[in-house]
Every structure is written in C-alpha cells, then in structure tokens.
A and B are shown apart, each in its own frame.
Chain A
Amino acid sequence: AQKITQTQPGMFVQEKEAVTLDCTYDTSDPSYGLFWYKQPSSGEMIFLIYQGSYDQQNATEGRYSLNFQKARKSANLVISASQLGDSAMYFCASPSGGGADGLTFGKGTHLIIQP
C-alpha cells in the first residue's frame, strides 16, 4: 500500500479487556498484504500477524486477530484478553508495491494496558 493511516496515537485499556487498533490503507494494487508489528519499550520490532488481500478468512494468531474489511480498506488488529505485557507501540505496515516491496509503516499506536 502506498499509504497507511493509524488514527489512534495512544490508547489506555484495562487489563483483560479486548482492544481494537485501527489501520486504514490506500492502494491501487490488486494484490497486497497487511502486517502488524509490536514494538515494546526495548525497541525491537516483533511480527504479529499478516493478512493477504486475497485471503478468504481473517487472519488469527493466538490472541491476535485481524478484522479485514477490504471494501473499507481497513485492517484493524484485535487483541483479546489484553495483558500488561501487551503495552507497546503497534505499527500497521504494508509492502509498497515495488519490486522488492519495502514496507510502508503507519505512525503507530501507543497502547498502555492498565491493571
């Protein structure tokens, strides 16, 4: 995707609640993918989940799922039963569409889980 938009700069959520992190994208490519990465305060980028535009089912990985609405160009990350360790920055990203497909990232959402 050429542009990724994350409209929630920060979120506070109570522990054990579900949380939805928003991501919309803009692309003219017929085939594309959406990634979510977690960046804890230690700084590393941790891959969470991937959704391909032609995948029939919404992606799920443990407590992470992707609410993919192609017509609305949104790929929201849902974290079920949030834990204190989920506190981190979360980035939505998509390959740029060029040959080697560097990722274009959104600005991120800073999620804080409160006990």
Chain B
Amino acid sequence: EPEVTQTPSHQVTQMGQEVILRCVPISNHLYFYWYRQILGQKVEFLVSFYNNEISEKSEIFDDQFSVERPDGSNFTLKIRSTKLEDSAMYFCASRWAGTGNGYTFGSGTRLTVV
C-alpha cells in the first residue's frame, strides 16, 4: 500500500537554528499538508499546498515557516529560526482529490528544540 514517507524520524536542534523536515507524499496525490502535535495535545493544521502554492495556512504558520515542493516528489517544511515552543511532532499528509478520499499521514518527525 502506498505510504507517505517522512525523514528524519527524530531531530534535535538548538534554538535559533534552521530545520528542514522532509516528506515524500504518495505519488498521484494532489493535496499536501503539514500538521503539528505538541506532546499530549491535539493535532493542529499548519498549511495546505495545492498546484504548487499554499492554499491555506493557520495562524501558527507565521513568517518563520515555509513550504516547498522543489522537485515534484519531495515536500518540505522549513522553520527558519527554531524556538523552544516549536518542539512537537510534525506530520505530513497527502490526499488525491475529494475529501472522501482519506488523508494519508506519514509517521511523523519528532522535533526537539534545546
């Protein structure tokens, strides 16, 4: 069964450093998403991406965040200058078309900012 692949599974970074989280969505999917889950809390929507541009973003997705789909397969989330409160699990998800088609999630990247 096709899956969404995220790398790395864990990343530790120093406060103020830039991090790039990588995702390979399912190849024929059209919509791509990043979500965040702070430990013990609910999953929060960050941003959606369609047709090579951002479709929606939440208030969490401020100027410190950016997304790219540089080569037609990878989908990246960049945090420019990490803060302690950016520590969370970050999930990438993708879907084909029509919301009845399930959103397939990757296994997540656990980001720890120290």
B56 pairs with A102, CB closer than 8 A: yes
Mask of A84-110 contacts with B, CB within 8 angstroms, 1/0: 000000010101101111111111100
Which chain B residues in 25-46 approach chain A with CB under 8 Å? 31, 33, 35, 41-45
Min distance, Cβ B85 to any Cβ of chain A, angstroms: 19
Q: Does A35 count as interface, using CB distance less than 8 angstroms?
A: yes
| Chain B hits for A105, CB < 8 A | 42-45
Instruction: Indicate the size class of the contact surface on chain B.
Output: 20 to 34
> How many angstroms between the C-alpha atoms of A37 and B58 in the bound complex?
21
| Chain A hits for B31, CB < 8 A | 100-101
Given the interface contacts A43-B108, A45-B105, does A95 sit within 8 Å of B99 by beta carbon? yes
B43 pairs with A44, CB closer than 8 A: no
Mask of B96-114 contacts with A, CB within 8 angstroms, 1/0: 0001101111111010000
Q: Does B48 count as interface, using CB distance less than 8 angstroms?
A: yes
Of the listed residues B42, B102, B107, the one surrounded by the most CB atoms of chain A closer than 10 A to its CB is B42
- Give me the interface of A with B, judged by CB distance under 8 Å: 33, 35, 37, 43-47, 50, 52, 91, 93, 95-96, 98-108
Closest 6 CB pairs of A and B: A100-B55, A100-B48, A45-B105, A102-B45, A105-B43, A44-B107
